[in-house]
Amino acid sequence: MKDYWNGTAFVGVDECVCLQIHQMHMEPWEYEEEDFEKYWDDELSEDLLNVSYARLVCAFATCKTENSTSAPSCFGGGFWSDLSAQNRIIIASCREKENSVCLPTGSNYTDYWGVVWYQSLGCFSKPFLDCLSPFSQEFMEADVNQDGIVSMKEAFDYGLSNDPYYPEDEHPILEDTPNELLSDGALSWLTCLDGWSQPSMIPPDISDDGYVNGKDAVLLGISFGTGNGEQQYNPDADINKDDFINAEDAVILGNNFGEGLDDSQRTMKLDNPPKTEYSTMLKVQPNENTFYTTNTDVGDTFNVSIIVENVSSLYGWEMTLEWNHDLINCTGEIVNYDFWAYYSGPWVANPIENSIGRYHQSLTAREPVQSFNGTTWLVNLTFQIIQAPPEGGTLSTGLAITATIGADYCLFDASSSEISHDFINGHYSYISPRYMRGDLHSVNGLQAYKLDANQSDISRVSSVTDYACNTVYWGVRVWKRSAEGVETEITSGTPVAQVNRSVDNSLLDQTNVHVPRRMAKDNCIFQMGHNNLQQPHRKLYPNI
């Protein structure tokens, strides 16, 4: 096998299925490498291209390892990258770079030549395979929605929950590649080994809209604690069909939260979407998160809050926040539980995905709590800066709130209907300031002082004498200058980055100005002046 141990960990390179060629009178430990035929993952992938199927299940489940408890099936998860394709379900008892765990079980037997064989079954694969046997005790336990069918997702979940070595020593994986209508998780819910009777819906999808999300959590919460026959009992929320809606149903919903139809059309909105007439707002606060290399370092952190304003009848929320994962990482969350006395969730166990720059979370109320009205914060998030801007440059990303799959908005009332609201997104910038230099250059036909990442050794002094003891303000106005020499002010006629003096002194003062994004071929002109009435306006024209 091409996977090897580098002295610290297994290195996944290539995987194969070993087919043992039985030799007469040979003890198991006497077999050499040439006594095994190896069926490599690349070969299997190529062969499957010639197979016609509607759905294909590939399970590398370590079902039996004979005469070995120390060399069970290894690296089964490595088949995923080669076999993953549309309408395929890949199940493996371990990751690519780890062994799956087997223990001696089952009866021993003696073959025709008198060799004794000892059987071992995988700690994940045994319960996974046992529950696929119709009418067995394991089958009944795995059938969480009691529809008489054990789907591949139910079988995987059952194997996982009955694996004594998960998650410390092995990590079984399920890769559920979507077709054009289904996303990860849904295909395995709708597939079982009985070709005549397939599951008709994803069991935790209480609202039956093809998604497992905050709407379902709201419907479970509104009927939480009720039994069959009671007024608020919802049979669809009784996921395990035991005539009670309780924590067992909430656990099943939570384990499958986020599954459903295709979310490939989700786009990352870096700017605020157009405002509507809605009075309710969901916003990132602070909206602008601007930092400078002069006082902020890589590794420093900052906090933002997700605020809901002017909401009525709030019974649940589910949202994502997205950002450029190359610039910042989310390092922590604090969820607000205080505005509902009784709640369910948070529904997303691992809400932070820094590898793709996404935070996903949901919280819902449950009976007997009343809906919330007013303004409150939903969650506080901590971010860490992980990349510095180039000298004189800026790195920036949106902090974009988006609704999750199956919804247009992030807020729900007690009937699981969406509450319309505006999205007010945030923005992050990390800026390396530029300095006004004393040397000149010409850009787009304008002779002006340079504005650059480094200071020059040429000093320029401008003094102001005020005879009326007024406060003198210095400020900056900014224009963009096109290649044709056309100038358009982008500071609305008002100086920005102002400093002031009201007494005679020579102290150093500084402030910052953040220039809005501009066209690539335009150049910015900064004009610095003061408000002294006794002298003409003196100006400096730095240019980039």
**251 domain-assigned:** yes
Kindly state whether residues 264 and 385 are assigned to the same domain.
yes
Of the candidates 433, 453, 472, which is a domain's last residue? 433
518 versus 207: which is more confidently predicted?
207
| Per-residue pLDDT tens digits for 468-515 | 666 777 777 888 888 888 888 877 777 777 777 776 666 566 666 666
Q: Predicted confidence band at 58 (pLDDT cuts at 50, 70, 90)?
A: confident
Please calculate the CA angle 336-324-282 and round it to the nearest 5 degrees.
35
- Work out the end-to-end distance of the chain between its first and last CA atoms, rounded to an integer number of angstroms: 59
| Per-residue pLDDT tens digits for 43-57 | 888 888 888 877 788
What's residue 314's pLDDT?
93
Kindly state whether residues 33 and 96 are assigned to the same domain.
yes
Kindly state whether residues 290 and 393 are assigned to the same domain.
yes
What's residue 378's pLDDT?
97
φ/ψ of 138, rounded to 5, equals -65, -35
Over range 427-451, report the average pLDDT: 82
| Per-residue pLDDT tens digits for 246-269 | 877 887 887 778 776 544 433 333
Kindly state whether residues 439 and 375 are assigned to the same domain.
no
| Per-residue pLDDT tens digits for 68-86 | 433 444 667 677 777 778 7
Kindly state whether residues 29 and 92 are assigned to the same domain.
yes
What's residue 429's pLDDT?
93
**242 domain-assigned:** yes
**223 domain-assigned:** yes
What's residue 183's pLDDT?
54
Over range 451-461, report the average pLDDT: 75
- Dihedral of alpha carbons 275, 279, 285, 288, sign: positive
Over range 196-209, report the average pLDDT: 69
Q: How many domains does the chain have?
A: 3
Q: How does the average pLDDT of the chain come out, rounded?
A: 76
Kindly state whether residues 116 and 186 are assigned to the same domain.
yes
Kindly state whether residues 223 and 352 are assigned to the same domain.
yes
Q: Among 290-304, 405-419, 491-505, which stretch is predicted with the lowest mean pLDDT?
A: 491-505
What's residue 70's pLDDT?
37
Torsion on CA atoms 199, 204, 206, 211, rounded to nearest 10: -90
Residues 6+ apart with CB under 8 A from 180: 262
What's residue 14's pLDDT?
66
Q: Residue 312 belongs to what domain range?
A: 210-433
Query: Side chain identity at 237, as an amino acid letter?
Result: A
The helix (H) or strand (E) run that includes residue 529 is strand 523-530
What's residue 271's pLDDT?
40
| Per-residue pLDDT tens digits for 319-362 | 999 999 999 999 999 999 998 988 888 988 889 999 999 999 99
159 versus 180: which is more confidently predicted?
159
- 355, with CB counted inside 10 A (0-12, 13-18, 19+), is exposed
Distance, in Å, from the CA atom of 147 to the CA atom of 471, rounded to the nearest integer, reads: 80
Over range 167-175, report the average pLDDT: 84
What's residue 126's pLDDT?
84
Joined tokens for residue 291: 């930092």
User: Above 90 in pLDDT, residue 196?
Assistant: no
State the SS3 of 42-107. HHHHHHHCCCCCCCEEEEECCCCEECCCCCCCECHHHHHHHHCCCCEEEEECCCCCCECCEEECCC
**192 domain-assigned:** yes
Distance, in Å, from the CA atom of 347 to the CA atom of 332, rounded to the nearest integer, reads: 16
**403 domain-assigned:** yes
Kindly state whether residues 246 and 287 are assigned to the same domain.
yes
Kindly state whether residues 507 and 422 are assigned to the same domain.
no
Q: Predicted confidence band at 6 (pLDDT cuts at 50, 70, 90)?
A: low
Of the segments 102-116, 178-192, 520-534, which one has the largest average pLDDT value? 178-192
User: Above 60 in pLDDT, residue 64?
Assistant: no
Kindly state whether residues 474 and 502 are assigned to the same domain.
yes
**513 domain-assigned:** yes
Q: Among 194-198, 286-290, 397-401, 486-490, which stretch is predicted with the lowest mean pLDDT?
A: 194-198
**488 domain-assigned:** yes
**205 domain-assigned:** no
The helix (H) or strand (E) run that includes residue 141 is helix 137-142
Kindly state whether residues 273 and 356 are assigned to the same domain.
yes
Q: Predicted confidence band at 222 (pLDDT cuts at 50, 70, 90)?
A: confident
CATH code of the domain covering residue 267:
2.60.40.680
The helix (H) or strand (E) run that includes residue 364 is strand 358-365
Whether residue 167 has a cis bond before it, omega within 30° of 0: yes
User: Above 70 in pLDDT, residue 376?
Assistant: yes
67 versus 313: which is more confidently predicted?
313
High-pLDDT (> 70) share of the chain, %: 71
Distance, in Å, from the CA atom of 74 to the CA atom of 526, rounded to the nearest integer, reads: 64
Kindly state whether residues 324 and 227 are assigned to the same domain.
yes
Over range 218-241, report the average pLDDT: 86
